[in-house]
Amino acid sequence: MSEREEHQLKTPDSVAADAEAIEILRMWWSNKEPVMSIKPAFSDPAMFGRMLAYAANHMAHGYSVRHGMDQRTAYNQILSGLSDAIKAQNIQTVTEQSDPSGSVQ
């Protein structure tokens, strides 16, 4: 990964201080497609859906702050993109095998 340090996401202090915090998802845009590392940590998958709703709202806020967009407009565009991807029904899950140490083989 060649992202400059100033563009890398930092772990929030509140998360670093929480001994029970669980990282659930890392996502990148790579080779013109989303790539992610996931951990299905909830017993109820609906909880992950709720997290996605929170993420959409936070991202809309980010578009408002960074790009001057109206937050509600950005949120609706995010939901529209999500809806379009779900309706297309062409999302494939591709897995990369990793060894027990966590490195990809």
Q: What is the mean pLDDT of each run of 10 residues along the chain (105 residues)?
A: 75 94 91 90 94 96 97 97 91 75 52
Task: Indicate yes or no: pTM above 0.85.
Answer: no
**SS3 state at 79:** helix
Euclidean distance between CA atoms 60 and 89, whole angstroms = 25
Q: Residue holding tokens 């013109």?
A: 32
Q: Is there a contact between 39 and 22 (Cβ–Cβ < 8 Å)?
A: yes
pLDDT of residue 101: 60
